[in-house]
Amino acid sequence: MISKIIIDSFIQLAKDKDIDRKELADIIKEIFEALIQKKYGNVDNFDVIVNMDKGEIEIYQEKEVVEVVDDPDFEVDIKTAQEIAPDLEIGDPFIDVVDPATFGRRLITYARQVMSQKIQEFERDQIYRDYSSRVGEIIIGEIHQIRRDALFVNIDKAELKMPREEQIYSERYRRGDSVRAIIKEVRSDKRGPEIIISRADPVFLMKLFKNEVPEIEDGIIDVRTLAREPGDRTKIIVESHDKRIDAVGACVGMKGSRIQVIVRELNGEKIDIINYTSEPQLLVTRALSPAKPYRVKIDYEKQRALALFEDDDISIAIGKNGQNVRLASKVTGFEIDAKSRSEVEGPVQVEVFLEEVEGLPQRVVTILSENGIDTVNEVVNTSREILLSLKGLGEKSLDDFMSALLEKVEVEVEVVEEFVEVDDDSEDQDTEDVTAKEQD
């Protein structure tokens, strides 16, 4: 009778927890094995059978028939054994039936406590198995708790954690909001499974593209590489395996319909979609968008690229805190060095005529002019020996003149050799250049 009471009470508890009968039977068996261990000290010679249909728990204890009993847990005397089975002899196994009621009045209470623990363990194991097989999948859940270092999302019986580093920094979350994220990792510890979800991981963006662009899901378009700084900008290189399909156009969609869905999901994150090319110079040029270099030079041995820009475009090329050139480097695999024209060719010199500079000794200006030296640059680029060789110009008058000139005019002479060195190697087979105009 007690067996049926236990099973009936467990069946109702199992229904509430959505545990099937076979799993419930295994749990009840484990509980009684624990009870046996607690009472007898071992379970080696016990067998527990749970019959869910009949509502019965059968416990059998195997003993050896002996002349004199030394260990009653493992032995039975020949006289007692033959009262039940007359054919038994010394050395034969004897099966004793144990009534579950012998475990005491507290059996049901204790069993229910153990049952509750087992169900919790079962649920944790079930959640771990379920979500371990779903790593890389996008889920939608409701935010139920927000902490400084993480937010927690509920889906059915599972609690999912989004650490701060897996969040998009520009987003603000509120309790009760629905949030979409990717299952990044499932960990197991004593407290149960820890399911880590992410909106900042590049794989999340990749999955969004697969959801919105059927050609990617079908394998017609490949995502070659992707570099992302969550909440700010992403650069993604795509390639079409069908000449009839434009990879960038397919990702953007009609009137931007596809890319707009993704951008909205990412709270306005900018996305640069780059058409793949096997030409490194052209690939680097495209990756530096929205800036357009007028020349790109590749060093294949060092896996570096030098991109040259007009002075007005260099800030766009580098981007805020170096973001644009940094992402371009990551997505192409080349370490890109972006420089302006003035950095490699030197500052543009503005001609200043000596007659326009006030306060200069007029007699010296006249002497210089009569000898074809009319501008500040011409004075600076003429050696002192030549100037002193001019008729009527002595050392003191020249020194006074130069002091006055330097006080009135800021003279900047700068020699930049780096670009000259790169340009000298233009015939090397490992270095090629391409202008922005050569894009497909």
The yes/no answer on whether domain 354-408 falls in CATH 1.10.150.20 is yes
The yes/no answer on whether domain 2-126 falls in CATH 3.30.1480.10 is yes
The answer on pLDDT for 440 being more than 60 is no
The position carrying tokens 């509750």 is 116
Q: Which of 119, 111, 113, 122 is nearest to 5 (CA)?
A: 111
Tokens matching residue 155: 């889906």
User: Which band of pLDDT confidence, cut at 50, 70 and 90, is reported for residue 437?
Assistant: very low
Averaged pLDDT, 316-324: 93
Cα dihedral 358, 362, 365, 366 in deg (nearest 10): 140
Boundaries of CATH 3.30.300.20 in the chain?
Answer: 207-276, 277-347+425-440
Contact 433, 307 (CB under 8 A): no
Q: According to the model, what pLDDT value does residue 2 have?
A: 55
Averaged pLDDT, 388-395: 89
Q: According to the model, what pLDDT value does residue 438 have?
A: 35
Amino acid, res. 371? N
% of the chain surpassing 70 pLDDT? 86
The answer on pLDDT for 421 being more than 50 is no
Contact 297, 432 (CB under 8 A): yes
User: DSSP assignment, residue 232?
Assistant: T
The pLDDT tens digits of the residues spanning 21-55 come to 787 888 888 888 888 888 888 888 999 998 887 77
Q: According to the model, what pLDDT value does residue 414 have?
A: 36
Q: Which of 57, 48, 44, 46 is nearest to 4 (CA)?
A: 57
CATH number for domain 207-276, candidates 3.30.300.20, 3.90.1150.10, 3.40.50.720, 3.40.1010.10: 3.30.300.20
The third-level CATH classification (topology) of the domain covering 277-347+425-440 is GMP Synthetase; Chain A, domain 3 (3.30.300)
Q: According to the model, what pLDDT value does residue 350 have?
A: 59
User: Which band of pLDDT confidence, cut at 50, 70 and 90, is reported for residue 375?
Assistant: confident
Q: Measured between alpha carbons, how far is 155 from 172 in angstroms, rounded to an integer? A: 20
Q: Which range has the worst mean pLDDT, 55-64, 175-184, 210-219?
A: 55-64
User: Which band of pLDDT confidence, cut at 50, 70 and 90, is reported for residue 109?
Assistant: confident
The dihedrals phi and psi of 208, each to the nearest 5 degrees, come to: -60, -40
Instruction: Tell me the C-alpha to C-alpha distance, in Å, between residue 108 and each of 9, 82, 142, 332.
Output: 9, 34, 38, 67
Q: According to the model, what pLDDT value does residue 248 have?
A: 95
Boundaries of CATH 3.30.1480.10 in the chain?
Answer: 2-126
Parallel/antiparallel/unpaired status of strands 192-198 and 158-163: parallel
Q: According to the model, what pLDDT value does residue 291 have?
A: 93
Cα dihedral 273, 278, 281, 286 in deg (nearest 10): -10
The answer on pLDDT for 403 being more than 60 is yes
Q: Measured between alpha carbons, how far is 324 from 42 in angstroms, rounded to an integer? A: 68
Boundaries of CATH 1.10.150.20 in the chain?
Answer: 354-408
Q: Which range has the worst mean pLDDT, 213-222, 271-280, 304-313, 425-434?
A: 425-434
The position carrying tokens 């979409």 is 180
**Better pLDDT: 416 or 278:** 278
| Helix spans in 1-137 (H) | 2-16, 21-40, 78-84, 107-132
Contact 195, 153 (CB under 8 A): no
Buried b (16+ CB within 10 A) or exposed e, 340-362: bbebbeeeeeeebebeebeebee
Q: According to the model, what pLDDT value does residue 287 have?
A: 96
Q: Measured between alpha carbons, how far is 86 from 211 in angstroms, rounded to an integer? A: 75
Average pLDDT of the chain is 84
The third-level CATH classification (topology) of the domain covering 134-200 is OB fold (Dihydrolipoamide Acetyltransferase, E2P) (2.40.50)
User: DSSP assignment, residue 351?
Assistant: P
Contact 436, 292 (CB under 8 A): yes
Q: According to the model, what pLDDT value does residue 62 have?
A: 92
The answer on pLDDT for 269 being more than 90 is yes
The pLDDT tens digits of the residues spanning 70-97 come to 988 899 999 988 988 899 899 999 998 8
User: Which band of pLDDT confidence, cut at 50, 70 and 90, is reported for residue 357?
Assistant: confident
The answer on pLDDT for 279 being more than 50 is yes
**Better pLDDT: 185 or 417:** 185
Q: Which range has the worst mean pLDDT, 39-48, 122-131, 136-145, 340-349?
A: 340-349
Averaged pLDDT, 248-274: 95
Contact 368, 335 (CB under 8 A): no
